[in-house]
Amino acid sequence: MDATAGENASALLLSMTGIDKSYPGVQALSGANLSLRPGEVLGLLGENGAGKSTLMKVLGGAVLADGGSIEVDGAAMTFSSPAEASAAGIATIHQELSLVPTLSARENIFLSRRGWVRRGEEVEQTRKLLAMLGSDIDPETPCRDLSVAENQVVEIAGALREQARIVVMDEPTAALSVREVEQLFTVIRDLQRAGMGIIYISHRLEEIFQIADRVTVLRDGENVGDYRVSDITRTALIEAMVGRTLENEFPPRNTRIGDVRLKICNLNRGDAVQDVNFEVAAGEVLAVTGLVGSGRTEMARLIFGADMRDSGTIELDGKMLSHRSPRGAIENGICLLTEDRKAEGLVLGHSMRENFGLPNLSAWSRWGIIRRSAEKSALASHIAQLRLPAGGSERPARQLSGGNQQKLILAKWLERHCEVIIFDEPTRGIDVGARYQIYELMCALAKAGKVIIMISSELPEVLGIANRVLVMRGGGIVGTLADVENASEEEIMQLAFREETGAVAP
């Protein structure tokens, strides 16, 4: 379905037509098209490897296309550098922000300015730019002291100073709280009213339906659909992305819950985690949710021994555990898949095999000599089980998609025979097809009797996967939802925002 058919092409702010780009052995883009109108938010969707990033790199001047054309306001353009794209009014706000942390908001906004530095003038202009975005950030505050949301505002202010008319936002809400997302959406709507065009890339489909006017879907480097958001359902959009009929977005829950295996009692660490108590039974997926900063990750780090707890006990299968380090936790059968898999879960420059082997070397080594054949054999079994890329054990971890990186981390913990598996934001930055595979693995592990704890900000997956939900705020548990199938996102949000504490029995 073409949502733009028959509309006046002269009204386009941006037109990318027939864009081709190939790398050795890979056709990244094949005749890809994209259009954008003034004051429009265009959602750009597709699975990892669909070509979204390559298409935006072509637009941003970071990659030169092999073929095709680009027009901005009807004028033909060729960008051979990011500077040329910027001069044409195109700005990209990357998921990994490009600010210099040690420089102030003002210095980052005016970083590209040449000639004499007029500090007073820059401060005044910075205040005006930030005020346009509803922000009162001090222009002289170093960006390292600002929140992620505030840094995004600084990036957008820089785009406004450069008089950008087209802004590309790549996964802009990945690390934002609910309130910060609402603030960002307010800014986006203000930019719309000013006539700017926004290209919004996100794996969070609920955001696309909330903020986008139209959606372009890529698959395998080609266009597979262009839809008005009001004309398409979530299920149809997912099916366009993955290229097949999707009967269910989530696998069926395991309903055979066994005996309690893990008990957490009176867990405390300063103000971050306060009197946390819960149990997890064999066969269930326990979800922990809440706003960013509510204590979810801090609690997981205490269980894993990454941070020292002030008090509290951890009991697994009737045995009291006394570990005070990740090494001790691993020896006790507890593992953590961190929310930042690239920085904390993997050594990106090392191969799949090397990452897989790191916590398991003692099983394959004697007198300091590693038996590579045993290591490769063990990895091969997990490659088949987890549907990792076959024949690529020496491939650097950085070359894997987000979903395959997550599965590689899981593989090394499964080889370690961990009984407690904590997933912290397991599907962040992962496309819908790979998400389903992760969900299937979590449910299968729970069904096999493992203790599964899932920390997530994604309320649809919390309600779609979990058997039980804990809601945290201010370092403590403020609510428990046991009848998850009949619970709603609104119930969770009321608990997460509510001022008074106390558990809620559904």
CATH of the domain at 19: 3.40.50.300
Strand partners for 280: 262
**What pLDDT does 385 receive?**
81
Q: For 38, which DSSP code? A: T
pLDDT band, residue 3 (cuts 50/70/90): low
- pTM metric for this prediction: 0.74
**What pLDDT does 498 receive?**
67
Q: Do 238 and 258 fall within a single domain?
A: no
Whether 341 is covered by a domain: the verdict is: no
Q: Do 429 and 404 fall within a single domain?
A: no
Q: Do 294 and 169 fall within a single domain?
A: no
Q: Do 304 and 156 fall within a single domain?
A: no
CB 363 within 8 A of CB 379: no
* Dist CA 182 CA 229 (whole Å): 19
Whether 343 is covered by a domain: the verdict is: no
Beta strands at 451-455 and 75-77: parallel, antiparallel or unpaired: unpaired
Report how many domains make up the chain: 3
* Dist CA 168 CA 53 (whole Å): 11
Is residue 484 helix, strand or coil? helix
Whether 504 is covered by a domain: the verdict is: yes
Q: Do 233 and 290 fall within a single domain?
A: no
pLDDT band, residue 148 (cuts 50/70/90): confident
Whether 169 is covered by a domain: the verdict is: yes
Q: Would you say residue 10 has pLDDT above 90?
A: no
Whether 340 is covered by a domain: the verdict is: no
Query: CB within 8 A of 231, min separation 6: which ones?
Result: 1, 3
Q: Do 300 and 353 fall within a single domain?
A: no
Strand partners for 92: 168
CB 149 within 8 A of CB 169: no
**What pLDDT does 111 receive?**
85
Q: Do 311 and 267 fall within a single domain?
A: yes
State pLDDT tens for residues 376-429.
888 888 888 888 877 678 889 888 877 888 889 999 998 988 999 999 999 887
What average pLDDT does this structure show over 253-278? 95
pLDDT band, residue 96 (cuts 50/70/90): low
Chosen domain end from 375, 398, 417: 417
What's the domain range around 284?
248-333+418-506
* Position 94, amino acid: H
Q: Do 267 and 213 fall within a single domain?
A: no
Whether 2 is covered by a domain: the verdict is: no
Q: Give the phi and the psi of residue 197 in degrees, each rounded to 5.
A: -100, 135
**What pLDDT does 147 receive?**
80
Q: Would you say residue 31 has pLDDT above 50?
A: yes
Q: Do 427 and 413 fall within a single domain?
A: no
pLDDT band, residue 179 (cuts 50/70/90): confident
What average pLDDT does this structure show over 168-182? 80
Q: Do 409 and 436 fall within a single domain?
A: no
Whether 339 is covered by a domain: the verdict is: no
CB 90 within 8 A of CB 58: no
CB 285 within 8 A of CB 446: yes
Chosen domain end from 208, 225, 242: 242
Q: Do 388 and 422 fall within a single domain?
A: no
State pLDDT tens for residues 98-134.
789 999 999 999 887 766 667 888 999 999 888 888 8
Q: Which two tokens stand for residue 492?
A: 């969770």
* Dist CA 153 CA 141 (whole Å): 13
Element (H, E) at 34: strand 26-36
Whether 382 is covered by a domain: the verdict is: yes
State pLDDT tens for residues 33-86.
999 999 999 999 998 778 998 999 999 999 999 999 999 999 999 999 999 999
Q: Do 319 and 199 fall within a single domain?
A: no
Chosen domain end from 417, 434, 456: 417
